[in-house]
């Protein structure tokens, strides 16, 4: 980030803060419409919800001096990642791909070697199961004896599991 864009960013934040604070003070009599402010654990300045390129998160309004950021869980800042959106292999956060690239989720650790991708089902990643022998993902397959779950590391791992209500029977 260049120093020019940082100064513009900081100026935008400083201009927006008084408006936000004065708006919330003017609505104190109507508390049902006001949102609760969340504060940075490091510098005690207000956090703001940001729609980033990899999904929503909470960032400190004191950026770039304070670089604190937190995950968004149910619209609130949290250090935890929402359990529904964790990678089944490495437990990092799953990220929804851009619509131009397809309708799927990928692991945020993709650049670190975790190549997990899961299909999207109505805005939620599909359920994924691990092979109990080698910890790779299981894939639903069809064979001459019907549907079964086989290891994605085949032929190195030949583990297979029968189908039980659209999930592997361990």
pLDDT of 3 strictly over 80: no
- Per-residue pLDDT at 17: 55
Q: Which residues pair with 96 in a beta bridge?
A: 105
Confidence check: pLDDT of 61 > 80 = yes
The 3 state secondary structure assigned to 18-70 is HHHHHHHHHCCCCCCCCCCCCECCCCCCEEEEEEECCEEEEEECCCCCCCCEE
CA-to-CA distance for 139 and 52, rounded, in angstroms?
31
Distance CA 71, CA 122 (A): 21
Regarding predicted confidence, which is higher, 138 or 31?
Answer: 138
Write out pLDDT tens, residues 13-38.
555 554 444 444 444 444 444 467 89
Q: Which of 29-33, 50-54, 111-115 has the lowest mean pLDDT?
A: 29-33
Give the 3-state secondary structure of residue 77.
strand
Task: Choose the most confident range, by mean pLDDT, from 3-17, 25-39, 109-123.
Answer: 109-123
Q: Which residues pair with 51 in a beta bridge?
A: 56
Mean pLDDT to the nearest integer, 98-122: 85
> What is the rounded average pLDDT of the residues 66-85?
81
Query: CA–CA separation, 25 vs 33, rounded Å?
Result: 12
Domain boundaries, given as residue ranges, for the chain: 3-78, 82-126, 129-170
Q: Say what the pLDDT of residue 66 is.
A: 92
pLDDT at 27: 40
Query: Would you give the DSSP letter of residue 110?
Result: G
Which of these ranges, 63-67, 124-128, 146-150, has the smallest mean pLDDT?
Answer: 124-128
Instruction: Over range 126-147, report the average pLDDT.
Output: 89
pTM over cut 0.75: no
């Amino acid at each position: 980030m260049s120093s020019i864009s940082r100064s513009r960013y900081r100026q935008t934040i400083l201009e927006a803060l008084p408006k936000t604070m004065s708006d919330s003070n003017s609505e104190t009599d109507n508390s049902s419409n006001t949102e609760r402010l969340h504060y940075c654990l490091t510098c005690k300045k207000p956090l703001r919800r940001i729609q980033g390129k990899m999904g929503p998160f909470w960032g400190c309004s004191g950026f770039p001096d304070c670089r604190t950021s937190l995950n968004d869980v149910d619209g609130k800042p949290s250090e935890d990642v929402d359990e529904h959106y964790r990678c089944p292999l490495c437990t990092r956060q799953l990220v929804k791909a851009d619509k131009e690239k397809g309708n799927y989720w990928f692991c945020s650790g993709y650049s670190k070697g975790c190549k997990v991708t899961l299909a999207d089902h109505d805005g939620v990643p599909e359920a994924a199961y691990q092979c109990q022998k080698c910890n790779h993902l299981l894939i639903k397959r069809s064979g001459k004896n019907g549907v079964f779950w086989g290891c994605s590391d085949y032929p190195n791992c030949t583990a297979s599991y029968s189908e039980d209500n659209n999930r592997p029977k361990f």
